[in-house]
Amino acid sequence: MSIDLGKVLGAARGYRDLARAAVAEIPAGNQRAHHGFAWIATSVAALEAVADWLAANDGGTGLDRQVALLGFAETLAQLTGGLPMGQNELLRPGDLGLAAEARDLALACADLIDVDHAETRATLAAALADGQWPSEGLPEADLDAIRDQFRRFTAAEILPHAHKWHLANDLIPDATVAAMAELGTFGATIPAEFGGLGLSKLVMCVITEELSRGWIGAGSLGTRSEIAGELIALAGTPEQQKYWLPKIASGAILPTAVFTEPDTGSDLGSLQTRARLVDGQWVIDGAKTWITHASRSDLMTLLCRTRADTQGYAGLSMLLAPKPRGTDADPFPADGMSGSEIEVLGYRGMREYALQFDGLTAPGDALLGGEEGQGFKQLMRTFEAARIQTAARAVGVARRALELGLDYALNRKQFGQALIRFPRVADKLAMSLVDFVLSRELTYAAARAKDTGKRCDIEAGMAKLLAARAAWANADASLQVHGGNGYALEYEISRVLCDARILNIFEGAAEIQAQVIARGLLEGRN
């Protein structure tokens, strides 16, 4: 069966535009409607990304086209029937007053959605069983070579050890961090003049995806440096750039992002941690929470209030606050700083902490860019890249979940045959593959948008929204394939499920992404 991409995309875009017009008349307080529109727009964007992927690969292989067929069929069926915004939240066309319009879309795409695709799903599962995967080729020079390099590193240095590290709640070993630094992980996007590789955000996506496929902690370690590096490259003074960026790029300095507070969550305008100048030094008081890699880091990008009499975002500044690296015996040796570990289900390897500041000092020149009151604006400029990186982590997790489910289905026998011979198992694997490809291509599209230099908070939000859902869905499906064994800690899928769950929350929860997408599109930014 072939797809008339032009016809189908035209119909899907038309439905999206109708949804936009409908939601524009609905008060913003109706989150279900506005967030539902965001999911509609994200779903259509994923179809566009898959169409572009096929075009970039000369129409794709037969396997590519089958993946696209199922992706289009399922997405259109969701748009016209029920689009999942959460495990128990389905957006129905009637919620937006679009029941008739959805029926028109279903009629326009009837050849695609009114069909039993069991044979296609079986074909995809058989291809996976035979070791076949959809095309990964990227038109950008050297990307395939970079992917291969990090895939081989992950296979040799991360995958054999990740589950053991997770179960022991170990930090990623220093030797592994050093090896990642040697590969250029931490300086991939830092300009070459400051010791980095000066590569694109798309390259960083590929790196993050491959490392996260081994263990999300490994992929996330690079994201710490990505956030700090971009903050300093975009907003730092020449002196700050010259001092910090080469050290971050080489891995000599490991940064951590210190933004969230106990009672604020995504409400950054309510931050209360304060910093004041005393005798030429910044003196910091307050509390932070959910700070990743806080003990072993050397530099904090610290969002705090330097204008005590200014509420909201205008009073916030960003400090580049150095700290001594902690040890197991003394995790926070700096005077005026203490911390306690937050025990978590997954996302291990760096550890999470609640921090207390009671007179911690930072140099007088620690103010990012040398200007007060710019912290929130500086941070917002990096959120796009951070969210794209989170999407890339999710893509890696989604792939690993599928690989584990596939391996188990091939090797586990029940009733005299391998599990993959059972249609419900094969279906799970086939649809996991489809979700992986859709989220991968949407993430790459967001990275390319970022590389153009334009504002792309909408594209970044879409990528994170879809990829996080794919990671969780794939992990859940894979654990189901494992049956009771999947619930046993000794099986890797138990870790992957825990790791996948956080992706819908950090770097802006799914609900925040939907709000950003809806607001941006309704304002006409895209």
Residue-wise pLDDT for 386-417, tens only, equals 999 999 999 999 999 999 999 999 999 999 99
**Residue 38 lies inside a defined structural domain of this protein:** yes
Reading the block at residue 271, the tokens are 């931050």
Q: Return the pLDDT at 313.
A: 87
Confidence of residue 137 (pLDDT cuts 50, 70, 90): confident
Q: In this model, does residue 383 exceed pLDDT 90?
A: no
Taking residues 3-23, report their average pLDDT.
Answer: 93
Question: Residue 16: phi, psi to the nearest 5?
Answer: -60, -45
Q: Return the pLDDT at 524.
A: 83
Taking residues 9-35, report their average pLDDT.
Answer: 95
Q: In this model, does residue 39 exceed pLDDT 90?
A: yes
Residue 307's SS3 state is coil
User: In percent, how much of the chain has pLDDT > 70?
Assistant: 99
Q: In this model, does residue 200 exceed pLDDT 90?
A: yes
**Residue 524 lies inside a defined structural domain of this protein:** no
Max avg pLDDT among 127-141, 219-233, 470-484: 470-484
Three-state secondary structure of 179-222? HHHHCCHHHCCCCHHHCCCCCCHHHHHHHHHHHHHHCHHHHHHH
Q: In this model, does residue 4 exceed pLDDT 90?
A: no
Q: Return the pLDDT at 451.
A: 93
- pTM surpassing 0.75? yes
Instruction: Identify whether the C-beta of residue 291 lies closer than 8 Å to the C-beta of residue 308.
Output: no
Q: In this model, does residue 139 exceed pLDDT 90?
A: no
One domain, residues 179 and 283: no
- Give the DSSP per-residue string, 399-422: HHHHHHHHHHHHH-EETTEEGGGS
**Which H or E element spans position 66?**
helix 62-80
In angstroms, the CA 196 to CA 249 distance is 5
**Residue 28 lies inside a defined structural domain of this protein:** yes
Residue-wise pLDDT for 333-366, tens only, equals 999 999 999 999 999 999 999 999 999 999 999 9
One domain, residues 368 and 391: no
Residue-wise pLDDT for 148-193, tens only, equals 999 999 999 999 999 999 999 999 999 999 999 999 999 999 999 9
Number of domains, the chain:
3
Q: Return the pLDDT at 1.
A: 63
Instruction: Choose one of 87, 115, 143: the last residue of a domain.
Output: 115
In angstroms, the CA 216 to CA 369 distance is 32
Confidence of residue 270 (pLDDT cuts 50, 70, 90): confident
**Residue 156 lies inside a defined structural domain of this protein:** yes
Of 173 and 28, the structure prediction assigns the larger pLDDT to: 173
One domain, residues 437 and 484: yes
One domain, residues 100 and 36: yes
Provide the CATH number for the domain around residue 151.
1.20.140.10
Instruction: Identify whether the C-beta of residue 383 lies closer than 8 Å to the C-beta of residue 457.
Output: yes
One domain, residues 380 and 499: yes
In angstroms, the CA 443 to CA 465 distance is 10
One domain, residues 454 and 360: no
Residue-wise pLDDT for 279-295, tens only, equals 999 999 999 999 999 99
H-helix segments, 452-509? 457-482, 492-501
One domain, residues 264 and 171: no
Neighbouring CB atoms inside 10 A of 156's CB total: 12
According to DSSP, residue 139 is labeled S
- Give the DSSP per-residue string, 347-365: --SS-EEEEEEEEEEEEGG
In angstroms, the CA 482 to CA 414 distance is 12
| Per-position b or e across 79-99, b if 16+ CB within 10 A of its CB | bbeebebeeeeebebebbebe
According to DSSP, residue 45 is labeled H
Reading the block at residue 274, the tokens are 């304060």
One domain, residues 435 and 481: yes
Q: Return the pLDDT at 24.
A: 95
Q: Return the pLDDT at 269.
A: 78
Could you list the active site residues?
A: 507
Q: In this model, does residue 78 exceed pLDDT 90?
A: yes
Q: In this model, does residue 227 exceed pLDDT 70?
A: yes
Confidence of residue 308 (pLDDT cuts 50, 70, 90): confident
Reading the block at residue 81, the tokens are 């029937």
Q: Return the pLDDT at 5.
A: 81
- Classify the C-alpha dihedral 230-236-240-242 as positive or negative: positive
Please give the distance of CA 363 from its chain centroid, rounded to a whole number.
33
Q: Which domain holds residue 485?
A: 117-221+375-510
Q: In this model, does residue 422 exceed pLDDT 80?
A: yes
Across 57-143, the runs of DSSP E, i.e. the strands, are: 83-86, 89-91
pLDDT, mean over the chain = 94
Q: Return the pLDDT at 526.
A: 59
